[in-house]
Structure 1
Amino acid sequence: MMSLLIVDDEPYTADGLRGMLAEREELGLELYVAYSAEEALQRLRRMRVDIVLSDIRMPGMSGLELHEWLRSRWPRCKVIFLTGYGDIANVQQALRGGSVDYILKTEGDEAIVKAVRGAIVKLEEELRGERIMIQAKEQMRQELALLRREWFARMAEASGPLTARDRTRFAELELPLTPDGPVQLVLGRVDRWDPDAGPSDRRLMINAIQNIACEYFSPVSLLALPVGDSRFVWLIQPGTGAWPETLIFVNGMLDRVQRTIGQLLKLPVSLVTTGTACDWERLPDDYRTVKQMMLMGYGDEQEMLMTGCGDKPPAATEGRSDGLSPAQAAELELALDSGLADDFAARLDEIFAALPARYALFAQAYYGAAVLLLGQIDRLGDEGAGFDDVAERLTELGRHASRDEAVQCLKDTARLLAARRTALLGERTHRVIRMLNQHIAEHLDSDLSLEALAGVVYLNPSYLSTLYKQSTGHNLSDYIAEMRMDKARTLLAQPQLRIHEIAPRVGFGAPAYFTRFFKKHAGLTPQEYRGQLPQE
């Protein structure tokens, strides 16, 4: 779904345009309204918009000045100007800067719809034209890529300020980042691979994902690194802008990047960031946080997009992996983080089968795996209630009658954790839906745009829309419309209230827009509906 922002200082015109475009459901637009260019800027600083439909002459900042701002911040945004004959020369100059179209105010609704369709087509053509996967090649020498991955692994576990040696590594590894400023961390995950995709196919796809990220984040400094078979990280710093603008740009662009990956590569990916920047010495904390956000997500964990902590995950104690090699510990932890209890069990079998018969080595490997499981239990925080007995059994190897029984205890614990995690995902999702429905019921007279609702529950707007449909079977916009219609019918049954008094109580600034909305859903105008009600 693409988003369109209407900018006009005349509320009647702006609301009328929104109502007209809302009726064109085939356009598939998420619609927003701003009653001045300054108000539009406030919204654009918080969210990404695909198309702007703007008047030119407005008090304060003009539509042309708004266009110049858009060119520097959102270069992919398409602008359609509403203009009079006297402004055509200025508009033609703006068109050379990348705007899509202009419409004379006398041309009517069909001309506006045609221009909007043209903007949508152009955006879709640009998307299809970016066949980045075809150009996905090795972007760096294999040795440099490996060194960079090792560098990140060390930075993600380091403690304290950067050392002099740490600083020199930035230049040695040709990192597009500076050690002297904060960094924003984004963690990504391919949620599901094609069953026929082999290791080389997966590496190619990860490279293609990184290429897409580099394309969309070209205005900022980005280092993209794989951190496993299905995971990757993006480390980001400002380009020429300041941090506030960079955070807005990055957090707003993640939705587009995720959708492009899905459309071009046919891969569902999840992207998670705290939405803030941190000093390098705090990078390990941020990395633990985003891993925890990924672990404790919502819904079915497909294509999650989280740009803030929301319900901040409980503090976790990082488990050690004594008795296991770093590679073995990483593989086991990845299986646990992904909820893949069967993979965890299979890897355990391989590890213990390869061990010499000495009990001391078995005990070390057992406790190494047990510590990883205890770390997972600890991350559940208060939601891990009921695991105390399980944790106690894990820490007492001598309680098990045999080695096979001890290994089975590890496997059973992994399965219990996976089941608990699945249950918690459902509980969190239901909690979000309840919170959202309650907010809607209590604020029918307020802004219930996708962006505003996403701010209530700390989720990305696009992801929230998908999560709501996935969880309830209904579109969020349909639920809001149903609630507004229910309240409108209740208010229309009160004869002392006039139509223009009812409209703002159900979220419509213009009575004409309310009338159009009501007739669309009820088949009658509000006045006609009221006329059919029994008279007291």
Structure 2
Amino acid sequence: MHRILIVDDERIEREGIRNLIRKLKLELDPLVAENGEAALQIVRSEPVDIVITDIKMPFMDGLELSEKIREEHPDIELIIYSAFNEFEYARRAMRANVSNYLLKPIQVPEFLAAIQRATDACLEKEADRKRELQLLEGYRLGMAYEREKMLLDAINGTRPMKPPAAARIDDAEPESIHLLLVECPRHFFDMHNDDFLAMLHERLNLPFDYLNVNENQSLLFIRHPVPLSRETLRFLAETVSASTLERYGQTVGIIVGAAAEGWDGVHSAYCGIERLLEFKFFMNEQAILFAEEHFSEASFDEVELQSISDKIYQCVNFSDLRGAKYGVELLFSYLKTTGHFSSLYTKFLCSEIMNKLLVKEHKKSLAVINDYLDKISRSSSLHELKDLMLGVFDLVESCTGARNKEESANRIIEQIKQMIEERYDQDLSLEGIAEQVYLTPSYLSYLFKKETGQSLIRYITQVRMDKAVVLLRDTNMKIVDICQKLGYRNSNYFIQSFRQHYGVTPAKYRERTP
């Protein structure tokens, strides 16, 4: 319903027009004003579509009012009525783009015709605005997709050296880019991606780009003219972590990538982050890690000794000797860096690991176990103790049983792949799958990446995308039904994931399929 403002200094005239609108049952919401100044205040404070005004009024006449309205609110339709049929009035009305000029006494047919022309003009302007908004939204979405594609190309190492101007990630190439990988469990970004991005814009005071990688991971590209200090990067990571916990009650893990020199260095920085994801298994779930640090250089402020040793025990229990050796490397780097633990406690810890390993893998006699424990006891340095530990792992790994353990890991991976193939239409999660195969989520994530070279979530996404292509090509199912069929709760997230994989939306893909 359109809103019409009736302006006349005579109350009987104002009420007469308002009653006429009601009597004719016109779909108009009438407001009234007793002079031009009062009318101008209403127009400035409330939405008005049509103004019908007398000419002769005190303080501000109808023509002056029309000129001011046209200047400030050009979309408002103007109708003037007067008892005078003078050329000067008509000429001023034309200059103010008044759409209709009525003579008193107002006749119903002329009044209806004037109102119809005004409402038609309002509808046409509304349609124009809607088309303009649709074009702008289409342009915005197109630019957002181009930006997303450029970010994907950057981390995958396929970004062109000189992208088209319309698709550039930024007007000026930043000298330094830091990647922050934010990792959350259980479909966090499927449910909260847009709101999470809005939260980041509220909390972070540095320019950044954002890319959702999958349901569990998103990347921040922090842009700055010079590399940021470690303290600044840690503060940014802690801000993201604390804000996520505050708003969603959700803990996150964050990996801070090495500084990339411009967008062409992003791929290398991202590869460093991916390599550290395997290392992350041995850390606390909420750890903030820095990808450029090697074991021997890392400051383990966020790492607890118990967490590392527990993960080593876990690897030993699942006969993952390579993973256990990896954990031993980290353990000794931790011990060397902190220097907080006595040699007696350190040897006790190593004896516990050695005992678990030998009992499980070789079923050695008590004499053999005691021999190794004696060597640990007689070791004179941290370096000697580390070499002894790694040597035992190498010995066990070289035995004939190692192949069986590798085959066991392969069987677990194949079991998981079969489960995904059969249940891709369900709510699959890292935690749910881990429960089915009797592994912890962190170990399952680590093991799957170690054995297949890709994360479990990425593998699930790829299976679903392959199934989506088949459904789009071979069925007439609606996009929203395909989304549900593939186990996605959020159709917008499904469309975004599909576009990341194939460069077009599901609807466009279907149109192009013969």
Give the TM-score of the pair, scaled to structure 1.
Answer: 0.34
From the CA coordinates, give the structure whose radius of gyration is larger. 2
- Higher RCO by CA contacts (8 Å cutoff, separation 6 or greater): 1
